[in-house]
Every structure is written in structure tokens, then in C-alpha cells.
Structure 1
Amino acid sequence: MKNTIAERIFDFLKNFPPFDLLEKEQLFKIASHVKVIYIEKNDFVFKQAEYPHENFYIVKDGAIGLYRTMDSDQILVDICDEGDIFGLRPLVQNDQYLMSAKANEESILYAISVEILKEIINSNEKVKKYIIASFSSNIKTPYARTNPGNLFANIDNLENDNTFSEVQTAQYSKNPIFCSKETTIKEAALIMSEKKVGSILIVEDQKPIGIITDKDLRTKIATGLISIEKKVSEIMSSPVITFSEKITIAEAQIAMIKHKITHLCITKNGTPNAELTGILSEHDIVVLHGNNPSVLIKELTRAKEVATLKYVREKTSNLLKGYIEQNIPIAFISKIIAEINDAITIKAIELSLAEMETAPPVKFGWLALGSQGRKEQLLITDQDNALIFEDVSKEDYKKTKAYFLQLSEKITIKLNTVGYEFCPADMMASNPKWCLSLSEWKQQFNTWITKPTEEAIMMCTIFFDYNFVYGDKELVHKLTKSIFKSVQSFEIFLNLLGKNALKNPSPLGFFRQFLVEHDGEHKDQFDLKSRALMPLIDAARLLTLSHNIKDKNNTIARFNKLVKIEPQNKDLYLSCADSFKILLHYRTEQGLKYNNSGRYIALNTLSKSDKLKLKGCFKSINDIQDLIKIRFSLSLIGL
């Protein structure tokens, strides 16, 4: 007799790692022993510090949140949804659960015996490799190939393509609490209590020789096995495990798993004989994983209210700060933050659509403009957006536009609540001027291009950098096609756009001094955006437009594309891309430091090294502007 339930489970499991690596007979054996469990919302599958169950779990339907309790606070570490495995490591290691698993919504789980899996691990090298990789990176699906929520590598590329959150340098405490080996256990416990820390290092000649944790106090002192009046050397764990200051997240996790410890000592050169500089705890790793971009995006996809969007955007700022402090490449940072920004916008749109009395009358598309359109909006700035909707009859136009204006107002209000302020110039989809039908948008761009007033050129520099975020992409493709057709039919437009690209000349004066603002609120400050970033943004836009390049809105991507099209100018374009990365990184760093947009810089806050670094970027601006002058004959035609 056929086991139809086992067959259904088999068909489900075969689509997810590591089950997709199993032989058919092995997988069917597992499927035949699976227990199906229903979990109601907010019920726990297991709790932190519990002894492990006999089974680990895979989510069939629903969502399970993994939470770590720290000082009575619950930190969301990850969200497990369809196909995700959890609760496996404690079983294999025979250790307590390090986190609680709680249902974020009604869920169905498959409970799988770890004993059966252990049998298979011993005979299947690929599955063994999966388990090791999963433990070392503290992620559920390190080889996920199709799920966009997981930013992990294919099994064949594991060693060469880890996620950035695993290979970046770990953030550790640079002010570790320590005492000498002559200190009594009671004195050490009082220090730990006063400083509100879970561990204390024992140091001799500035070198770590041991460590005591809360667990030591519970198991050795509270049980009465050792007197609290004894010296710390009686109960300290020694020798300590040490690493250098450049330890990565992955290295830290592997070391903690291997040695079954929760703290690592950081020393000058990574050896126990070097000066102590810090301590890295499991708590630090958990906090970092709580800011993992894949976790944040999962939170967004399941958000039911705007407050969650705001919470995620605030956590994104922490993520950004960590990336900047660790000098992660700005191109990578931009991609991650852009994905989160888009996910926030998409959820704001979905929540707004749910509030509308009826479904949209026709297809529409939501566009991000300006820095968000270029995927360069790292700091929270004001919002620039637009809406395009399908053409309708004259009779239906007024009603259709009214619908989308109402929708746009709901969306922009939500984005404002999240932290993206309303655009001072009202360049938002809630403005009737920027909520138009496809034909109206085509006509608007055509007018800007063929009748290029100063205001029209300015509008083009904003609206040409649009990026499709939500809705019907075909509408946007049709608009793009129309724009390029208009540009090709009115060639002088590129010359005028070239003139605009030169409106901000060299950021340096005759004596190589920074050109600063002469009056106003930012008097004597350097405008990093207008004088350094915008000339590169404008140049990249103009040159890619002249080559009829579509779907390249990001400045770095535009310069990289130009490298391939014009190999004779490769060095110049690579130099521009590098300069833009440095300037964008610097602006973001300044914005985080002073809690502002990072646009205006007080020169007296710059070190000589910073000034030289910035000046080094300005040569690229001069060179690219010289190329534009020649290519578009701006000096010859008096533009």
C-alpha cells in the first residue's frame, strides 16, 4: 500500500537543501518518518536554554522567528519560512538551544529525526559538507539557489562566494572588563554585576590568561562546589582562545562552535602572548545577525503595519554604520541598502493598496527618482518618486487619475512616517504633475527634450534617473523607448545636457584651495554633493545617454559600462568610478558622524589626509569635464 503522506513530504523536501543532495532511497526513508506538527501564532517550538528535542524542523508553511533573549530583551535573529531548517545544531552538538523558536504566524512544520540524518551524513559527503557550512556560517540555507530572501552561495562555490555578512570583520568590544589572577571570585562577580557584563577576563602583564563567564558562576559557585572567597584562578577557563583584530564573522562562529565557548579574546597579533585589545562574544554575533539584510527583508515581506517599516529602516541605519566602519566596499553597500529601500517602498505600496476601496482600475508603475532611482541613497533623505498609469479613455481619465493620486498620497505619507521626508519641491507621485498616464509622460519628456529650457534640463537630470520599483514594468519600458527616440530626434539636446554637466566646474580654486560657499546657512563649508558628486553623476548620465544605453541608472554601473564601450578611455572611466566610490563613502561617513545628509563639510574638521584624498578625486572631475567639452563641441558652439 502506498504511503501517500510520505510521498507528499518527499515531493516537498526534494526541493530544498540538504535534502536535494540525497539519494532517492535516503530521502524517502526520511519522509516516511517525518512528523507533521501544527503551531499556532506566538506558540513556541522550543525555548532558549531548553535541552534539544529528538527532532529538528523544516518549515512547510508559515513563518518561525528565531529569537535570542538578552537582558530580558528578545532580539529577532532570523525568520524561517518555507524550506528553512532550524533546531539542528543543538541536536548534533548535544547542547542546549541558543535561541527560542516562536511562530510568527500559523505554521506547519515537519519534524525530522536527527538519528536518521546522522546515518545519512556518514554516507553522504555532500550532506556532511552542507551541515558543516551551515554551522560555520550560522545560517539555515547556505546553498540556497533560488530563494531571493537568502543571500547565500551555491554549494559548488561555497569557499569562493560567501556572503559579505560572514566575511566582514567582526565588531568586538574594545573595552573588555578584566582583573588579575589574585582577585577573588566574589570581587570579580561584583565587578561583572557593576559593569553589567557576562564575562570577565583574567589578565597578567596585559595578556589574557583566563576568562570567567556567568555560566562559571552558576555551575561552580552557585552550586556550592567552590567557595566564592577563592581566587579567580580556581574557576577560570584557561588557556583562552585568541584571534587578531581582523577576525571575520565566519572565523568567530567556527571557533566558538569548535571550542564550545561563547567568548573570544582579541589581541594585537592574535596570539595569547600579545596585548589584549578586546573581547568578542556570542551576543555580538547575534546582534550582527539581527541586522542581516536577508533578515530585514524577510521582516518587510511579512510586515502588517508601517511601524515595522520604520523599525526596519532604523535597523538599516545601524547596518549601514557597521558596513562603513568596517570599510566594506561602497558598491556592495549601495546594492544592499537599495534592496532594503525598495523593499520598504514595495511594502508601503502594498499596505496602501490594501487600504483602497477597490483594486487599481488599470495597470500602473511606481518609479523612484534621483538618488534612490540611481540606487545611491544610503542616508535617509527626502523622497522623490512618480507614478505612471495605463492610458484610458477621456471619459475615464479624471476618475482614474483621482484613484492614483489618492493611492500616491497614502504611499508618500507612509514613506514619510518611515523617515523619508516629503520632498520640499513636491517631486512626488502625490503631486498631479508627477502622476500621469503613459501618453502624458511621453509628451512631458518629449517637451523637456525638444524645448529644453533651463528648468526642463534640470527636470531631465532628476527624472532621467528613474528606477522601476513596483507595478507593471512594461509601461516603464515603453516610456524608456519613447525617451530615447526623442533624444535621437533632437541631437542638440545632448549638447545642452553637456552644458548642464559643466555647471559645477573644478571643486578647487586657482591655488588648489577648496571652493566653499560664500554666504547663507553653509557659509565657508564645502558642498560635497554639488561640487564633487553631481559632476560625476551628470557626466555618467550624459555619456551613457549618448550611447543609447538603457537600464543603467547607477553611476558606478554607468562608468563600468562606458569602460566596455570606449576601451580607449578605460583609465579615465575607471578613475571616475573610483573617485565616485570614495566621495560617496566619505559623504555617508560624514552624514552618519554628524547625523545629517553629509552634503556640507566644514573644512576645519578635515585632516590633511582627508583633504588630500578628496583632492585626488577632483582630477577625475576635471578630466571627464574636459572630455565632455571636446566631445559635445561646447566651446565651439558657445555653450
Structure 2
Amino acid sequence: MNTIAEHIADFLKKYPPFDNLTFQELTEISLSIRVINLEKHKVLFQINDALHDSFYVVASGVINLSVIADAEETLLNKCYEGDIFGLRPFFAKNNYMMTAKAREETIIYAIPIATFRPFVANNSDVLDFLLHSFASNTSNPSDKENTRGSLISDNVYYSEQQSEIQYFQSLTYNVTPIISTASSIIQEVAQLMTNALSTSAVVCENTFPVGIVTNTDMCAKIATGRIPISSTVDKIMSSPVVTVVENVSLAEAQLLMLKYNVTHLCVTQDGTDKSAVKGVISEHDLIVAQASNPGVLIKEIKRSQNPKDLKSIRERLTELIQKSIHKNIPLSHVNNLASEINLAIIKRSVELSILDLGSPPARFAWLCIGSQGRKEQLLTTDQDSILIFEDVTADKYRDVKDYFLKLGKRTTSILEKIGYEPCPYGHMGSNMLWCKSLTDWTNQYNSWMNTPGENSNELSSIFFDFEIVIGEKKIEEAIENVVYNNLRNNTLFFDFLGNDALKRNSPLTFFKKFNVEEKGPNKDKFDIKTKALMPLIDGARLFSLSHSMRGINNTYLRFKQLAMADPKNSEVYLNCAKAFLILSKYRTMEGLKNDSSGQYINLLELSKADKEIIKSALAPMDELEDLIKNKFQLTQFS
């Protein structure tokens, strides 16, 4: 038995966070580990299953983690040798939120949580690794190169679900806590706490925290007469103190309070008790922070009466995006959050216009297209929208169209005041070309898809990324049906879209240098939107349309879904999904820094390492291009 435990300990020692433990500790843990053999396609746990008493490490083989959304199974991640998954029972009480299934014959180690927990409590590096992963859905958080041995979170927030802002929401807390020494008299400290309306005092030795006294200690130990009020504070303080770093998130703070069963956390310079105290987080601070989650922001949006109110909410969203990127939160989380709030702002803008104009004379749907339609709008880029109203009799058509054009103009003007620039190509509901009846729109899509390149309104592929903001869902579904009915055996349309996806200039030169702008105001800058992100967006759209995938417009999720639908090429799609997030992050950082759309990256301001990260994210594009040419029998000159 011991030789098996040693063999397991040897294996674990190679991967984080186990590499922070001694061989002796690992052998002790290994004695209680169960070895599980899973046959191909065997399910270990699935969505809504009750939590197990263990978490898991892949010893050999591959585990697929997936969720079901809109009755479709979507692959979220693959776990290989050394990867940890199934951490949910460690931190949460509710059931599993995903399914874990063996992709091939797989051996996994089940590590009992009861056995492992003491080792976590005694080792802050192990705890940080687990917390960071659970809270932020990253792979191995300490490892940017993503070598094996990563953590796959069980906290998956799907675009259909309420975005979980608390996983990257910073906390406001008391930055001037009461400080006392171990020899301070309890009565004096109690007086200080009362005067400052504080629920705690930190006990320090040479500025380092050694204990904490809270209202609870005062009630349980002094008010009951167990310890006289004239005693010194060290007789009632809780020690050691649970310490955290300065930019701890709401979720991390909640998890730590739950884990250690405490009501206060001490904020220190480096997050340990060997550095100076910077503040104290109380349970009350967590309750206050909960009040500014997306639900609350969306309630504020619904109550807004003018563009000025909406503009201030949009600015708060920008701050939130900035903080989350600074905290290395996965972009897919941030996207979910931003898209919910962006769509709520646009919806309220349409409602404010209706309040001015009076009730619409017919049912309608306002659809966002382009980046808003794909739920990828982190920065305030330009507006893209279309307006569809139901069919009316010929004698009413003119008046009805006039009303909706006015609605379009008023709404785009409100959105401009909030900070969304008008679309330079006029793709907006205020343009009479893009504000028309359902039959006119049906004819438009039929024409685009059956005779692409031949009609006067040139086909723009962004019209195939749409999301309803307000109005009649059935109208959006009718347009969706027109699109999907026209896809069958439509080689002409796919030839057109495929060539459109291939016509962009390569992001790198023959000598692997960035293909920068040669003239104009952005001379020597790299156009990350056109040269890097658009080929991925176009490729994801092209393949998801060819697979008739409904209801998934987001580029990252399209690639994830394609990896499930076409396992033979799953690696290409998963690489593209990852590349899309990396490139989007650099674009967003550029945009936040310069208050711009982030389209043009100033390469002089990037470190050598950043340039290399971007270059390696461009690598999957060649594979995607080859896939397009092979699948649709294209050459770039067809």
C-alpha cells in the first residue's frame, strides 16, 4: 500500500499546488487517495449532481468539462495529466455546475477534502492557488505559459446566467483601523472601538498583526463576566489573524471568512502577517459591496430618466472593466458582465425615446449587430443596430416607418450622448436602409444569401451577428429562421463569406515582424482589430453558420462549441478561442489606457514579452485559414 502512496506522491510532486508540499505531507495525503478508472465517455459527475467528498487530479487520459446551454452541450475545457478539477465541494455548498466526462480511457486520483483541508490551512500558497482558480476560472493562475498542472474552475458563468461580478469586484473597507498592543487594557480598547463606531481592533507588534479583537469577543468574553474588563487585550484576542492582500475581491473575502469561520479579515501590505496593516474588512463591508453588483447596476439603469444618468453608469462599468483586467480576471467573465450592462443601457435608451414619442404603432424588434450583437463590447465602440417592425397594410406603411425612423434617430442620439459613437458606415436603426418591415428584411436576407455580391446593399457579415435588445422576440426568431433556411446547400453564400474571411492582410510580415500602418495618424501602429481579431471573428461566424449553430453569437463561445461539433479539428478551435481572449485583452487595455476603441496598438509601449504573447496568439490563424480553404474548397483567388 505504501509503495502505491509513494508512487502517487511522486506524481503529485510534479504539479502545482502540490509542489508547495513536502514529500512526507504528500505521502500522508496519498494514503487516503482513491484511484478511479474511467472508461471512455464515462461520466464522473454531471450538472446538478450532489457534491462529492473529494476533488480530482488527472493521472492519465483526458477529462472533458462541459455545460448545457440552450439544450446544447458546450465544451468548456479539457483536463490533461496533472490538471485539477472538481473543486466546487471545497468552497461551495450547492450542486455541481458542469459535467466531467472521460474523453478516452482515463485514470484519476480522488483526493478527500477532509484529508487535504489541513494542508491548505497551513500553506498560503496552496490556498491562494485554489482560491484564485475557484474564483476566477483561470488555468494554473501562477503560470502564464500554461504548462500542465492547471486548475479548471467549477465556477462557470454562462452568458445566459447572471454574471458574477463578485469574482472580480474590489472591496471598500476601513483603511484606518484601530490598532492596539497586546498589553493594552480591554476597557480602553472597547472605549476606542465605541468612539470610532468600529467593530474591531487589530493587535500589533512592530506594526505586524498578531491578533484581532471584535465586538463578538467583547460580548462572549467580557459581557459574560468570563474575563475582567481590566485585563489585557491578549487575553481575549483571536490569533493568528486571517490576512489578505490589498486588492482582494469580494468573492475571495467571502470564501476566506467561510473557510476560517471569522467575521473580519486583516488587510496587509503583502497579504501575510509579516507586513504592515493596511485595513480591516468586516462582514458588513461584504454586505455593502453586494449592493453594487450587476443586478443593482441594472436596476439603476431601469430607473434612469436621461442620457446623463446612463452615461455615469457606463463610466462606472468602464472602471469595473479596468479593475477586473488589472486583477487578471478571465475576459470571458468580464464580457458577460459588460454585455449585460451594455444591453440594458441600450434598452433603456430605446424606452426613453418611446416615452418621448408615444407608443409604437406596431410591434417591433431592436437588434444590436456587430460586436454588441456578439456580446463583445468592452469598450464604448460605435453603435451598430437594425430596426424591424411587423408587416402592416400598405396604407399605414409610410406612417409606421416614419415613427420607427424617428425612434431610431432619437435612440442613436441618446446613445451618442452616453458615449457610443455613430457607426461610420451608417449601420443603424436611424438609417432608412436599416429600418424596415419584416417582409422587407426577409427579402434583404434572401437577396444577400442567394445572390451575394450582386445586390446594391453590399453584404456585411456583421448582419449575421445579432441580439435582440427590446421588442418582440418572435420577430428576431423569424429573421433567424430566414438565415438558417437559406444556409442549406448554399455553396455560393459560403464561397462569398469564406473569401471575405480570407481577404484581410496578414498580421505579420514574411520576417515575422508586425504588419504596421504605413501612413496616416496611426503610422507604425498595429491594427489589432482588422489584422488579428477580425479574421478570428469571421472564421468563427463562418464555421458556426456552416454547422447551423443557433443562439451562439459570441466568438469565444462559437469556437468552444465548434470544438464539440467537429472533434477532428477541436485543437484548432480551442487554440483560436484562447487566442481571441488574449488579443481582445490587449485591445481592451489599449482602449482603456487611451480612452479609445483600442484598435491601434502602440508597439513602442509594449514590452518584448507582450509582443511575443501577441505573436504567439496570432499563430492559430494560419491553421484556421487552412481549415477554411479545405472545408469550403477555396483558394484566395476564387
Cα–Cα, structure 1 residues 240 and 590, in superposed 2: closer, same or farther, change >3 Å?
Answer: farther
Residue aligning to 1:580 = 580
Q: Does 1:638 align with 2:637?
A: yes
Secondary structure in structure 2 of the residue aligned to 1:355: helix
Deviations 1:436-484 (A, max 9, x none): 1111112222232333339979643121112112111212222222233
Cα–Cα, structure 1 residues 206 and 531, in superposed 2: closer, same or farther, change >3 Å?
Answer: farther
Residue aligning to 1:345 = 346
Higher mean Cα deviation, 420-429 or 449-458?
449-458
Residue aligning to 2:3 = none
CA distance in 2, matches of 1:591, 1:321: 10
Cα–Cα, structure 1 residues 328 and 349, in superposed 2: closer, same or farther, change >3 Å?
Answer: same
Residue aligning to 2:303 = 302
Offset of 1:314 from its aligned partner? 1.8
- Say whether the 8 Å CA contact 2:498–2:632 is kept in structure 1: yes
Offset of 1:422 from its aligned partner? 2.0
CA distance in 2, matches of 1:608, 1:198: 48
Cα–Cα, structure 1 residues 388 and 317, in superposed 2: closer, same or farther, change >3 Å?
Answer: same
CA distance in 2, matches of 1:288, 1:390: 44
CA distance in 2, matches of 1:178, 1:531: 55
Offset of 1:263 from its aligned partner? 6.3
Higher mean Cα deviation, 298-307 or 241-250?
241-250
Q: Does 1:399 align with 2:396?
A: no
- Say whether the 8 Å CA contact 1:310–1:419 is kept in structure 2: yes
Amino acid at match of 2:500: N
Cα–Cα, structure 1 residues 622 and 408, in superposed 2: closer, same or farther, change >3 Å?
Answer: same
Secondary structure in structure 1 of the residue aligned to 2:621: helix
Offset of 1:385 from its aligned partner? 0.7
Q: Does 1:356 align with 2:349?
A: no
Offset of 1:289 from its aligned partner? 3.6
Q: Does 1:529 align with 2:529?
A: yes
Amino acid at match of 2:270: K
Residue aligning to 1:365 = 365
CA distance in 1, matches of 2:179, 2:333: 41
Offset of 1:161 from its aligned partner? 8.0
CA distance in 2, matches of 1:463, 1:573: 23
Secondary structure in structure 2 of the residue aligned to 1:279: strand
Offset of 1:175 from its aligned partner? 9.4
Amino acid at match of 1:555: T
- Say whether the 8 Å CA contact 1:387–1:435 is kept in structure 2: yes
Amino acid at match of 1:301: K
Secondary structure in structure 1 of the residue aligned to 2:506: coil
Residue aligning to 1:507 = 507
Offset of 1:278 from its aligned partner? 4.2
- Say whether the 8 Å CA contact 2:268–2:278 is kept in structure 1: yes
> What TM-score do you get using the length of structure 2 for normalisation?
0.63
Secondary structure in structure 2 of the residue aligned to 1:443: helix
Offset of 1:253 from its aligned partner? 4.9
- Say whether the 8 Å CA contact 1:181–1:204 is kept in structure 2: yes
> What TM-score do you get using the length of structure 1 for normalisation?
0.63
Secondary structure in structure 1 of the residue aligned to 2:429: coil
Within-5 A mapping of 1:51-130: none
Unpaired runs of 5+ residues, structure 2, are 1-92, 95-153, 158-162, 185-197, 215-232
Residue aligning to 1:594 = 594
Secondary structure in structure 1 of the residue aligned to 2:322: helix
CA distance in 1, matches of 2:248, 2:308: 35
CA distance in 1, matches of 2:255, 2:486: 58
- Say whether the 8 Å CA contact 1:291–1:315 is kept in structure 2: no
Secondary structure in structure 1 of the residue aligned to 2:468: strand
CA distance in 2, matches of 1:200, 1:515: 58
Cα–Cα, structure 1 residues 542 and 261, in superposed 2: closer, same or farther, change >3 Å?
Answer: closer
Offset of 1:486 from its aligned partner? 3.5
CA distance in 2, matches of 1:524, 1:466: 34
CA distance in 2, matches of 1:360, 1:427: 22
CA distance in 1, matches of 2:313, 2:169: 23
Secondary structure in structure 1 of the residue aligned to 2:496: helix
Secondary structure in structure 2 of the residue aligned to 1:510: coil
Q: Does 1:328 align with 2:315?
A: no
Cα–Cα, structure 1 residues 511 and 247, in superposed 2: closer, same or farther, change >3 Å?
Answer: same
- Say whether the 8 Å CA contact 2:405–2:432 is kept in structure 1: yes
Residue aligning to 2:546 = 546
CA distance in 1, matches of 2:331, 2:497: 28
CA distance in 1, matches of 2:457, 2:331: 29
Offset of 1:364 from its aligned partner? 0.7
Amino acid at match of 1:537: I
Within-5 A mapping of 1:476-495: 476-488=476-488, 490-495=490-495
Offset of 1:290 from its aligned partner? 4.7
- Say whether the 8 Å CA contact 1:506–1:622 is kept in structure 2: no
Secondary structure in structure 2 of the residue aligned to 1:447: helix
Cα–Cα, structure 1 residues 259 and 430, in superposed 2: closer, same or farther, change >3 Å?
Answer: same
CA distance in 2, matches of 1:354, 1:447: 36
Residue aligning to 2:266 = 264
- Say whether the 8 Å CA contact 1:367–1:469 is kept in structure 2: yes
- Say whether the 8 Å CA contact 2:365–2:472 is kept in structure 1: yes
- Say whether the 8 Å CA contact 1:388–1:437 is kept in structure 2: yes
RMSD between superposed Cα atoms in Å:
4.0
Residue aligning to 1:123 = none
- Say whether the 8 Å CA contact 1:507–1:618 is kept in structure 2: yes
- Say whether the 8 Å CA contact 2:166–2:293 is kept in structure 1: no
Deviations 1:318-357 (A, max 9, x none): 2212221222221121111111111112222222222223
